[in-house]
Structure 1
Amino acid sequence: MSAQFEFGLNSFGDVATDGGREMTDAESVRLLIEEAQLAESVGLDVFSVGEHYKDKSVDSATPVVLAAAAQATSTIGLGTSVTVLSTQDPVRLYQEFATVDALSNGRTQLVLGRASAVESFPLFGYDIAQYEELFEEKLDLFLRLMYEDRVTWSGKHRASLDAVRLHPRMPDGGIPAWIGIGGSPDSVIRAARNGLPLMMAIIGGRAERFAGHAELYLRALSSFGYPEMPIAQHSLGLIADTDDAAKSAHWEYWEPVVTQISKERGFYPPTAERYAEEVDTGALYVGSPETVARKIAAIARANHLSRFDLKYDITHLPRDVRERSIRLFGEQVAPRVRELLEEDAEPWRETGRPVVEIVKGGKAVHV
Structure 2
Amino acid sequence: MELGISTFGEVTPDGVAGKAVHAHQRVQQLLEEVKLADEVGLDVFAFGEHHRPDFVISAPEIMMSAAAAITKNIKLSSSVIVLSSADPVRVFQNLATIDLISNGRAEMMAGRGSFIESFPLFGYNLNDYDALFSEKLDLLLQINKQEVITWKGKFRAPLTNQAIYPRPIQPAIPIWLAVGGTPASAVRAGRLNLPLAIAILGSAPGQFVPFVNLYRESAEKAGHEVSKLPLAISSQFYVAEDARQAADEFYPSYEALMNRVGKDRGWSPMNRAQFEYLRNDGPLVVGNVQLAIDKIMAQYELFHNTRFLAQLVTGFTPHVKVLKAIELFGTKVAPVIRKEIGVEKVV
Normalising by the residue count of structure 2, what TM-score does the alignment of the two structures yield? 0.93
Equivalent residue number for residue 145 of structure 1? 143
**Among candidates 130, 144, 147, match of residue 132 of structure 1:** 130
Equivalent residue number for residue 98 of structure 1? 96
The AA in structure 1 aligned to 2:153 is: G
The AA in structure 2 aligned to 1:220 is: S
Equivalent residue number for residue 282 of structure 1? 282
The correspondence of residues 139-178 of structure 1 with structure 2, limited to 5 A, is 139-171=137-169, 173-178=171-176
1:335 and 2:331 correspond = no
Separation in structure 2 between the aligned mates of residue 333 and residue 172 of structure 1, nearest angstrom: 30
Equivalent residue number for residue 38 of structure 1? 36
Q: Which runs of 5+ in 2 are unaligned?
A: 14-19
Question: CA shift at 1:149, angstroms?
Answer: 2.3
Q: Is the 8 A contact 2:11 2:26 kept in 1?
A: yes
Question: CA shift at 1:173, angstroms?
Answer: 4.5
1:308 and 2:304 correspond = no
The AA in structure 1 aligned to 2:157 is: A
Secondary structure at the counterpart of residue 314 of structure 1: coil
Question: CA shift at 1:304, angstroms?
Answer: 2.1
Q: Is the 8 A contact 1:211 1:304 kept in 2?
A: no
Equivalent residue number for residue 48 of structure 1? 46
In structure 2, the CA distance between the partners of 1:79 and 1:110, relative to structure 1 (3 Å rule), is same
**Among candidates 71, 89, 107, match of residue 87 of structure 2:** 89
Separation in structure 1 between the aligned mates of residue 36 and residue 170 of structure 2, nearest angstrom: 31
Separation in structure 2 between the aligned mates of residue 202 and residue 97 of structure 1, nearest angstrom: 26
The AA in structure 2 aligned to 1:333 is: V
Equivalent residue number for residue 363 of structure 1? none
Q: Is the 8 A contact 2:254 2:313 kept in 1?
A: no
In structure 2, the CA distance between the partners of 1:251 and 1:23, relative to structure 1 (3 Å rule), is farther
1:8 and 2:4 correspond = yes
1:120 and 2:118 correspond = yes
The AA in structure 2 aligned to 1:197 is: P
C-alpha RMSD over aligned residues: 1.6
Question: CA shift at 1:23, angstroms?
Answer: 6.2
Structure of higher RCO (CA pairs closer than 8 Å, 6+ residues apart): 1
Q: Is the 8 A contact 1:294 1:337 kept in 2?
A: no
Superposed CA deviations along residues 39-72 of structure 1, whole A, max 9, x for unmatched, are 0111100011000111121111111111111110
Separation in structure 1 between the aligned mates of residue 81 and residue 151 of structure 2, nearest angstrom: 22
Separation in structure 2 between the aligned mates of residue 165 and residue 40 of structure 1, nearest angstrom: 34
Q: Is the 8 A contact 1:203 1:235 kept in 2?
A: yes
Superposed CA deviations along residues 137-188 of structure 1, whole A, max 9, x for unmatched, are 0000000000122110111100000011111112465211110110011000
Separation in structure 1 between the aligned mates of residue 171 and residue 241 of structure 2, nearest angstrom: 43
Superposed CA deviations along residues 254-302 of structure 1, whole A, max 9, x for unmatched, are 1122112111101111121111110001111100010111110011110
Q: Is the 8 A contact 1:16 1:23 kept in 2?
A: no
Separation in structure 1 between the aligned mates of residue 12 and residue 336 of structure 2, nearest angstrom: 28
Superposed CA deviations along residues 286-340 of structure 1, whole A, max 9, x for unmatched, are 0001011111001111022111000113323211111011011111111122233
Q: Is the 8 A contact 1:312 1:326 kept in 2?
A: no
In structure 2, the CA distance between the partners of 1:13 and 1:100, relative to structure 1 (3 Å rule), is same
Secondary structure at the counterpart of residue 24 of structure 1: helix
Question: CA shift at 1:97, angstroms?
Answer: 0.6
Secondary structure at the counterpart of residue 234 of structure 1: strand
Separation in structure 2 between the aligned mates of residue 272 and residue 82 of structure 1, nearest angstrom: 29
Separation in structure 2 between the aligned mates of residue 57 and residue 256 of structure 1, nearest angstrom: 13
State the 4+ residue runs in structure 1 displaced beyond 4 angstroms: none
The AA in structure 2 aligned to 1:207 is: P
Superposed CA deviations along residues 111-145 of structure 1, whole A, max 9, x for unmatched, are 11101111111111111111000000000000000
Q: Is the 8 A contact 2:103 2:169 kept in 1?
A: no
Q: How many residues align?
A: 335
